[in-house]
Structure 1
Amino acid sequence: MSTYILLLSITPSLAQTTITGKITDKQNTPIPYAHIQIENTNSGTVSNENGLFKLVFADNSIKRTIIVSSLGYQSKKVVLEAENNLIVLSPDIIQLQSVTITSKNPAKELINNAIRSIPNNYPLVEERHYGFFREVTHWNKQKEPIYIAETSIESIKKSYSKKQLSGDVKLVEFRKYKSTQLDSLNTRIHAGVHHIHRFDVVARREDFLQKLDRFKYKIVDTISRRDKNIYKIHFRNKEKISGYVYILDSTFAIIKAEFKQSSGFNHFLFSPENRKYLNYTVTYEQGKDSLWRFKQSNYKTAFKRKNKVLVLSSEYVTTNIEPNSKKMAYSDKFQYSDILLNKEKVYKPNFWRNYNIILPNKKYENLFKSNNFKTISKQKKWLNFLLKLKREIALSCSTINVSSYNLLFENSSLNLQETINSSNRNIYGLSYSLLYEFKPNFYLGYLGEAKIFKSGISSHNLSFQRQIKINPKRRPIFLTPSMNFGHQQLDYFLGTFNTKENLNVNGKSLNNGKTSVFLSQRNFRLQPNFALSIEKNRRLNFLFSIGYNIPISKKEGLLFQEKEGFFLFRKKQFIKNNRESLTINYNGNLLENKFSLNAGVSIQL
């Protein structure tokens, strides 16, 4: 069997030359995801699912030499000097019986050797990878995609000397297509562009490279790539996770992995039982320094939704690699929790024309050209509204200052008489808010407080906030001055008393039994507040705030609340001072709460 590569055209631009081509075998069957590398560089691309590829050269290239390779074929070096270059790749298959390994479990031994050899086969210094990513969603058996998102990215790959689960990613350029079907889809994908970190099985050292005792391994074939023998090892566990890993026999480098899962899913976007399958493939490319680097990945999964199957697929290719000389600015990072489809960027056709990408099919390219963003659906408006909402929840700490007082309350069911000196009590509670960003960095919404223990503060407020970024070049730190206006209730617990008869106050009856009694003050208040928050990620901030309370129009008295029965149905009643045989004599303010401290988290929807 022979394989041909037919280069269709060489198109010059102002500063670059773009070459397109197609890779097929002798029967004209496309060969997908073949590696195409510019000789003596870390630049290149892969063919798409139809065998098509595009490669961009600088005009000062003296020799446009490429190396084309695919597992099971001999690699071929080609100097591109004219159109219609035809390259034949000869198959290179080694029979399984030629493998000689002396071990009771040779496949597992190879896996262990591959893990131990990772520091020898992969870079031990940080590098900056440039790549291309595409994400497509569609309903099964439907040709038109729901949406397509494409982006060129930069990422920082850390040393392979130890296990790495994550890394930094930056969007360079971005374009998307959204069909009318998107209105019926309330699902969004997180962390898509983190392919280079999420699916780097060598860097992550998880599953079949970590829990070896839970997997069964078997050598099923030997193949060749660039005149080197490769073991193809099948792995499988009880959770129906299976696949193949390809290990180079001379150095034990892992050069490819195929992963399949059909059950035992953890939570993702939907309930685990709704996921149909999860498949991904990752390949590595050897550089001129003989080290292997993450080259390309394909991911596909499907979920059952509304009696239909939703298919999510994505693909990534590394197009260039450089030494990393500086950290990626925090503000440039695409967070793991970010959603690519929500990004907005002006479409620049000239950029995509001169950038190495995995070629889309003609239909996808026409969809990008025809996309119209002027029509905004009702669902999109609701989505934009939700994205501007911010929720905050925090633990609050305050002090209630209690003035010296004399209390007298006479009732047929309960008599109280107390003389108390002034005191202070620390109280704790929860503060929570729901705010809307009505213009950049300005928020308006609801702020509430709830007590945790018997003594505490509860309030309901209208809040106006201005968010100021004080650390723009690094991890964001925000200073947020705000003004809150609302109603506040201070409750100071006096004790629990037994009543043999129903307690009648203000014409209402509380059931006999245990009754909790509080000193209570109700007032409107104005509260200037200052908050300091540090961003954990785009959706989560840690915050600390301090507020000063200015009471307006106070009412003091006693609060009676039933102690027994289901808590939602316990009745309570407030008696204002000098009413219903209640007398409280005090100097200044009966209850006073000047400062409020809060510490907690802020969550962006």
Structure 2
Amino acid sequence: MRYKSMLSARGVTLLMFFISIPFSYSQAKVLEIEGVIKDEFDYPIPYVAINVKGTYIGTSSTEEGTFYLALSAENLASTLSVSSLGYESTTISVKDFLALENKVIVLKENVTTLSEIQIKSPDYYVKESLKRLKSNTISDTHLLKLLYRRASIEDGTAKFLVEHYMKVLDKGPSTSTVKKIEVAEGRKSADYRIAKDKQHSHAINYMVNHNPLRRGFAIKDFNWKKTGDTNYDGEDVLIIEGRKGKHNFRRFYIGIDTYRIYKVETSVSNAVFIYKKNKEGKLYLSYHNRAWNKPREQKLEEHTRKIMGKNAPESVMVAFRQEVYVLGLETDKKNMNIKAFGGIGSDMGDVKVRYNPNFWRNFSMPPDTKFFKKIKKELKDNFGVPLETQFQFASKTLK
């Protein structure tokens, strides 16, 4: 299987940190690793897991196959492990990768043909994978460090963006909720919304609730069938899809031998959840995005329409686009430093967290995905001002 995949109007003048950073041996002894994962036909491969073997350090590639890792000089002798659904896994030493003239890692497609005799009923694999979810994932308390982005959409265009760097204390997808959440850093774009649509709590709560592994569902209510097969890290993987009606579906990528769930796709908010292995072979969340595929109509308040004038619309169509990058994993309880955050019960845009420009300036930002590039372009077009500049002027600076 292959994946081809108002401010300026009022005269206010607003004059990714990561764009393209060549690797360097800096005085801080940081190895900045960036490259592209492609197949044999020169197509980029999305959602590839890139890990430093024997550690919890890793990342995933974007839809365009690009990836970035910030390593210490001690990792120069380490080995990168590269694996993706549908491709043969490979390894390359950090030193050899840095020596490449073109920072490209090529994966060979692994064509899998499974005999139907080997295959049990599709719903059996779903039931068995959910039964083994706790043993196949990190189910002990662990800390995830993640970048959470949420864009507010009005009439199909991004009008406001919030980014939070968060720490999440979790016990994995076999539990219905996370244990503790901290919003450690945050920043906002200029706000061009007219409807000001809000969620009832922080968006991460919706991410948890929209995950069918956590939320649960009635397997018997879906019509299950095998829609394809692929492989991951040497294991044959079945693609099992369940449908309930015309538009409601759940799609699982399940290891035929281990019953590990490597990927989940769902019609609920058009969401995708990508999981990858730690060094013990246990799975944990690596990447997630979702976008409302059915925007809803929201009427404008009367005072807003008066300000806008006689041509003001009565309502706008509102939605959200969201993206989550898991940037780090910590399993040693001694290093799970997290502060309980009291603002999770309010909309993400209302969370009171000061903007610390020094943090974002030094933050190892993952490469921009297509998902995020679209948001950045729309936000820039609203003002004619780059998003980075909007962050500086619209966010409340740390004092």
TM range (shorter): 0.7 to 0.9
Structure 2: 5+ residue stretches without partners: 4-19, 298-313
State the alpha-carbon separation in 2 of the partners of residues 52 and 102 from structure 1. 35
Distance 1:194 1:38, change over 3 A: farther
1:132/1:153 contact within 8 Å kept: yes
State the alpha-carbon separation in 2 of the partners of residues 42 and 331 from structure 1. 22
Equivalence map 1:224-243=2 (5 Å): 224-238=231-245, 240-243=247-250
- Answering whether residue 99 of structure 2 is matched by residue 88 of structure 1, we say no
- Answering whether residue 206 of structure 2 is matched by residue 206 of structure 1, we say no
Distance 1:2 1:66, change over 3 A: farther
2:48 pairs, out of 34, 41, 45, with 34
Distance 1:249 1:352, change over 3 A: farther
1:38/1:65 contact within 8 Å kept: yes
2:265/2:271 contact within 8 Å kept: yes
Aligned to 1:108: 123
Larger radius of gyration: 1
Q: Which amino acid aligns with 2:77?
A: K
- Answering whether residue 314 of structure 2 is matched by residue 303 of structure 1, we say no
Distance 1:150 1:38, change over 3 A: farther
CA deviations 1:302-339 (Å, max 9, x no partner) are 41336654341111122221125279899632554222
1:248/1:255 contact within 8 Å kept: yes
State the alpha-carbon separation in 1 of the partners of residues 227 and 215 from structure 2. 22
Q: How many percent of aligned residue pairs carry the same amino acid?
A: 19
Distance 1:327 1:92, change over 3 A: closer
Q: Which amino acid aligns with 2:117?
A: T
- Answering whether residue 388 of structure 2 is matched by residue 369 of structure 1, we say yes
State the alpha-carbon separation in 1 of the partners of residues 147 and 391 from structure 2. 24
State the alpha-carbon separation in 1 of the partners of residues 43 and 206 from structure 2. 28
- Answering whether residue 169 of structure 2 is matched by residue 169 of structure 1, we say no
Q: Secondary structure at the match of 1:178?
A: coil
Q: CA deviation at 1:159?
A: 6.0
State the alpha-carbon separation in 1 of the partners of residues 88 and 234 from structure 2. 7
Q: Secondary structure at the match of 1:94?
A: coil
1:20/1:55 contact within 8 Å kept: yes
1:196/1:294 contact within 8 Å kept: no
Q: Secondary structure at the match of 1:81?
A: helix
- Answering whether residue 72 of structure 2 is matched by residue 58 of structure 1, we say yes
Q: Secondary structure at the match of 1:146?
A: strand
Q: CA deviation at 1:230?
A: 0.4
2:163 pairs, out of 140, 145, 150, with 150
Q: CA deviation at 1:136?
A: 1.8
2:195 pairs, out of 169, 180, 185, with 185
State the alpha-carbon separation in 1 of the partners of residues 337 and 61 from structure 2. 32
Aligned residues: 345
Distance 1:319 1:251, change over 3 A: same
CA deviations 1:175-223 (Å, max 9, x no partner) are 22124x22x1321233213466335443x1512xxx1221111112111
1:36/1:47 contact within 8 Å kept: yes
Q: CA deviation at 1:122?
A: 1.8
Q: Which amino acid aligns with 1:168?
A: K
Give the structure with the larger helix fraction. Answer: 2
State the alpha-carbon separation in 1 of the partners of residues 237 and 127 from structure 2. 16
Mean Cα deviation higher: 338-347 or 190-199: 190-199
Q: Secondary structure at the match of 1:341?
A: helix
Q: Secondary structure at the match of 1:40?
A: coil
Q: CA deviation at 1:14?
A: 4.2
Distance 1:258 1:68, change over 3 A: same
Q: Which amino acid aligns with 1:216?
A: N
Q: CA deviation at 1:350?
A: 5.1
1:8/1:84 contact within 8 Å kept: no
State the alpha-carbon separation in 1 of the partners of residues 119 and 37 from structure 2. 39
Give the structure with the larger strand fraction. Answer: 1
Q: CA deviation at 1:367?
A: 2.8
Q: Secondary structure at the match of 1:148?
A: strand
Q: Secondary structure at the match of 1:36?
A: strand
2:147/2:163 contact within 8 Å kept: yes
1:126/1:324 contact within 8 Å kept: no
- Answering whether residue 348 of structure 2 is matched by residue 340 of structure 1, we say yes
Q: CA deviation at 1:89?
A: 0.7
1:286 pairs, out of 277, 286, 292, with 277
Aligned to 2:228: 221
State the alpha-carbon separation in 2 of the partners of residues 141 and 27 from structure 1. 34
- Answering whether residue 364 of structure 2 is matched by residue 355 of structure 1, we say yes
Q: Secondary structure at the match of 1:71?
A: coil
Distance 1:350 1:10, change over 3 A: farther
Q: Which amino acid aligns with 1:153?
A: M
Equivalence map 1:583-602=2 (5 Å): none
- Answering whether residue 39 of structure 2 is matched by residue 21 of structure 1, we say no
Q: Which amino acid aligns with 2:98?
A: E
- Answering whether residue 309 of structure 2 is matched by residue 318 of structure 1, we say no
Q: CA deviation at 1:154?
A: 0.9
Distance 1:125 1:344, change over 3 A: closer
Structure 1: 5+ residue stretches without partners: 262-277, 377-605
Aligned to 1:249: 256
State the alpha-carbon separation in 1 of the partners of residues 391 and 271 from structure 2. 32
Distance 1:48 1:87, change over 3 A: closer
State the alpha-carbon separation in 2 of the partners of residues 100 and 312 from structure 1. 44
Q: CA deviation at 1:50?
A: 3.4
2:189/2:394 contact within 8 Å kept: no
Q: Which amino acid aligns with 1:36?
A: I
Q: CA deviation at 1:353?
A: 3.6
State the alpha-carbon separation in 2 of the partners of residues 318 and 159 from structure 1. 13
Q: Which amino acid aligns with 1:147?
A: F
1:169/1:194 contact within 8 Å kept: no
Aligned to 2:60: 46
1:56/1:356 contact within 8 Å kept: no
State the alpha-carbon separation in 2 of the partners of residues 152 and 372 from structure 1. 14
Relative to the length of structure 2, the TM-score reads: 0.75
State the alpha-carbon separation in 1 of the partners of residues 361 and 185 from structure 2. 9
Q: Which amino acid aligns with 1:340?
A: M
Distance 1:312 1:54, change over 3 A: same
Aligned to 2:140: 125
Q: Which amino acid aligns with 1:187?
A: D
State the alpha-carbon separation in 2 of the partners of residues 186 and 35 from structure 1. 37
Relative to the length of structure 1, the TM-score reads: 0.51
Aligned to 2:87: 73
CA deviations 1:388-446 (Å, max 9, x no partner) are xxxxxxxxxxxxxxxxxxxxxxxxxxxxxxxxxxxxxxxxxxxxxxxxxxxxxxxxxxx
